Amino acid sequence: MATFAAASFGAALSAAHEAAAGQHYPQATLYVVATPIGNLADITLRALHVLQMVDAVACEDTRHTQSLLRAYGIDRPNGQLLAVHQHNEAEAAQTVVARLAQGERIAYVSDAGTPGVSDPGARLVAAVRAAGQRVLPLPGASSVTTLIGAAGLVAGAGDDGSAFVFTGFLPTKAGERDAAVKTLAFETRAVVLLEAPHRIESVARALAVLGDRRITVGRELTKQFEEIVTVQASALPDWFAAGKDRTRGEFALVLHPMTVAVDDGAEGERVLRLLLEELPVKSAVRLAAEITGAPRNALYDTALRLRNSDEPND
């Protein structure tokens, strides 16, 4: 959530008008606007212009958004702020659709970052598009891409580590969370997670089972006390326990891609045997190839041989 420190954005508003006012802003359009994840100066000029121009601003929290707008010198009556959050999104979306049908321009912002990414907004966008009305995105800050860019993702030979999966928040219940982490153990690509301060230590303990897999932690990204560190998963609980401030703030985490070594055949067969106990042949072969780097065709032949050898004789 952005921190509304005292600052003057008068020059920024003027620059926003000069840079963006001449562009086309269609009516009957929902403008999906990214807002800062911590540092107010990360707002874009086009976002400032649109937030001044639209007929109304739909938002996750009207009080938070009013404070954000006023920090930029934008003063809107409370009646021009529409609450659209996870508890009323489906119903509130119909209000937005009705206003768009009257030709209004409406911006949507979440509390921080890009709407619809682990924040409300996706259902609103879906409803607007289903009604045949236009959605126009204004890109900007995102904790996901911010941390990915600072993590230095490097995988095995021939792989630049650039592929990643966005998982967001892990389940809150311990059993479901542990099961999700076991699934991550077989994911060869980087994985981006988000977490709140009151759950981060529990998540760290759950991730510790991933052993020497590296994890980059981003805490309070773009804010004054921003901290970015990379540790092995097994050391994650101790890292958080080493300082009381380390569990404060909002968190993004990147599970680094699995380092894939070239397999000599024996390891591929060992992993394949384990997977075949739980999975169909095709799924077991695919995962074994990703985990060990062994050729998929060779693993498939091995899987058929193992399955045939397990069949009872007549």
* Per-domain residue ranges of the chain: 10-141, 144-255, 266-310
Q: Do domains 10-141 and 144-255 have the same CATH topology?
A: no
pLDDT by residue (tens digit) across 233-272? 999 999 999 999 999 999 999 999 887 554 556 778 888 8
Q: How far apart are CA 60 and CA 81, in angstroms?
A: 10
Residue 154: which pLDDT band, with cuts at 50, 70 and 90? confident
**Two structure tokens written together for 214:** 């590296």
Measured in residues, the chain has a length of: 314
| pLDDT value of position 247 | 96
Average pLDDT over residues 200-228: 96
| pLDDT value of position 250 | 93
75: left (phi over 0), alpha (psi -120 to 50) or beta: beta
Q: Is 75 in contact with 69 (CB distance < 8 Å)?
A: yes
Classify domain 10-141 at the CATH superfamily level. Tetrapyrrole methylase, N-terminal domain (3.40.1010.10)
Q: Does domain 144-255 have CATH number 3.30.950.10?
A: yes
One-letter identity of residue 291: I
Distance of CA 153 to the CA centre of its chain: 16
Phi first, then psi: what are they for 24, rounded to 5°? -90, 130
Q: Distances in Å between the alpha carbon of 143 and those of 10, 79, 118, 218, 286? A: 26, 30, 11, 9, 31
Stretch (H or E) spanning 218:
strand 214-219
Q: How far apart are CA 177 and CA 204, in angstroms?
A: 11
Local structure of 122: helix, strand or coil: helix
pLDDT for residue 159 is more than 80:
no
Average pLDDT over residues 154-158: 51
Residue 134: which pLDDT band, with cuts at 50, 70 and 90? very high
Lowest mean pLDDT among 2-6, 47-51, 161-165: 2-6
- Between residues 107 and 3, which one has the greater pLDDT? 107
